[in-house]
Amino acid sequence: MKLYVARHGETEWNRLNKVCGRTDSPLTDKGLQQAQLLAERLDSCSIDVIIASPLSRAQETARAVAERKHLPVLTDERLIEQDYGVYEGVQRDDRDFLNNKRMFAYRYPGGESMMDIARRTYDLIIETRETYPDSSVLFVCHNGICRVICSYFMDMTNEEYFGFSQDNCGYNIYEC
């Protein structure tokens, strides 16, 4: 299986540099344009299945690709962004948020740990590989999920993991 992993387009909270986990922040006009550009960039790629997070920013981005590919968008809750709990909506450079982000097993108060999202995301990768072994699959998700998926396929130091960031509508390709 070939796995394409794309992050959604820009949202208002991305533009304002706010931590945006489960808040359903819609795409900006720029984010909608980015989604169209992603669809164009993926035009030459053979994609058989599209699976997206249930949040509207991922759904809208996936829909842009799906319309070009004439494919349905499947939804999987396991691709939803990390629940950042009390840090939802704070500035991304908030000192407490960044200190807690470095502790992978730490469960944000009222939210999830990175270990929680790794468990659900790794399970999805394994299940997808078993369900679509000879296919090319596109996941449309979020920065935190892109980071975890990268860690599934590549060894990363703690610092590399902490510093990983996927551009809006950027994508990576992995072979399973």
Q: Is 81 one of the catalytic residues?
A: yes
Residue owning tokens 């072994």: 133
4: nearest Cα among 134, 138, 128: 138
Which of 60, 81, 88, 112 is catalytic? The answer is 81
Q: Is 8 one of the catalytic residues?
A: yes
Which of 8, 88, 112, 142 is catalytic? The answer is 8
Task: Sort 5 into a burial class: Cβ within 10 Å, 0-12 / 13-18 / 19+.
Answer: buried
The helix/strand/coil state of 25 is coil
d(CA 128, CA 131): 5
Active-site amino acid positions:
8, 81
